[in-house]
Amino acid sequence: MSSSKGQEGAAVPTKQKGSWSSFLKSIASFNGDLSSMTAPAFILSTTSLVEFSSYWTEHPSVFVAPAAEKDPAKRCMLVLKWFLSTLKQQYASRSEKLGTEKKPLNPFLGELFLGKWEDEAGETRLVSEQVSHHPPVTAYSIWNDKHGVRLQGYNAQKASFKTTINVKQVGHAMYYIDQYDESYLITLPPLHIEGLVVGSPYVELNSATYIQSSSGYTCKIDYSGRGWVSGKSNSFTASVYPQDKKKEPIYTAEGQWTGKWSIKDAKTKQVVEAFDPDVTKPTTLQIAPIEEQDHFESRKAWRKVADAINKGDMDTTSGEKSIIENRQRAMRKTEKEQGKEWDRKFFKRVESDPIFEKLAAKIGESANKDATNGVWIFDQEKAAAAKSPFHPDVDPPIYVDTGDLSRVSTKSTATAS
């Protein structure tokens, strides 16, 4: 089923071995998107997928560093460095923290996750919103006004089974540097899940991704993993080269995205940048205390479900999930009867993004709008009207105009775990 070695269910708690074996059989025979399946209790996460947007910027100083570089080739290299620094947080931090990769909660339409990082880079802000439920799509905007750096994007995931769980990520990210009016298109890696047989799943990245800059430079990142005979898990090689001159790299990089890696000058072979996640620790994300969050904010919305999962109480987990799902169904029914569509709070659907289209054409990418229910961009006017405490220009608290909702604190000191 997977290339991981070991006895089936070796890492599965004794009481869960039966349900794990049944789950594996269900996966193998399931026809459709695996994200809709119910997983055994011990592999359920208490975190919603809408929170995953925060993994892009857990090293704010690395995120903003390209803005201080005058040379466009070096700026592109520093964008590559930042991107590579996000991979461990995005794809391995959960399995390291929890001992295994967990199945995240499926966000409901309109679910929000808001936060900010404060460190030597200044204040970096995050807005993440579930903009579509069928198909499930999360959109996000991250920005640092002090350095004039922004990241916006959206993504969906399609999971299928063929010898193991394979996940195709649909969507993209766009990184902007205001000072140079420079844009970077970032594609998302496909991945698969290793360790299924022994019951200790972890993520391995596949194939290749690109970073295409508007200044005329391209980065290609190739991913590889541990094979049956040789190789190291989570390995990659990368290069930065002038557009259409792949065989003339300016910089190269290699290593393990879960560990140490370096970037070298392609001619001199001298190391110009290096990264060690054990040295460069993540900055803690600050969020509003749960009691002061809006009812559509993720931590508050899923609190009872998360508490039940932590207790191993699957009856309560199922019941509390059903309450949320039934409320959503009722809202969709009312909207249909009234001929309305759910009003996204921070993002809007557009026919196309000209900057994306221009950069995507250079690397053979397309928007694949059908898979993401459209093209999604951050809407500054909506953000201002929503009065988010994490919007840079507005101080009043946020209100969501559906149901009995509470205000979000404008003076949050809570931290994300």
| Rounded average pLDDT over 69-87 | 98
**Taking the domain 50-275, which CATH number applies?**
2.40.160.120
Question: For residue 228, what pLDDT is reported?
Answer: 43
Distance between CA 222 and CA 105 in Å, rounded?
Answer: 30
**Helix-, strand-, coil-residue percentages of the chain, each rounded to 5:** 30, 30, 40
- Using the 8-state DSSP alphabet, how is residue 65 labeled? G
CATH code assigned to 289-343: 3.30.70.3490
Sequence spans of domains, the chain: 50-275, 289-343
Q: For 257, what's the count of Cα atoms within 13 Å in the CB-facing half-sphere?
A: 29
Segment 151-179 shows an average pLDDT of 90
pLDDT grade for 103, boundaries at 50, 70 and 90: confident
Query: Up-side HSE of residue 335: CA atoms within 13 Å toward CB?
Result: 12
Range with lowest mean pLDDT among 282-291, 370-379, 383-392: 383-392
CA 12-156-367 angle, to 5 degrees, is 150
pLDDT digits over 185-203, tens only?
Answer: 999 999 988 766 555 677 8
User: How high does pLDDT run on average in the chain?
Assistant: 84
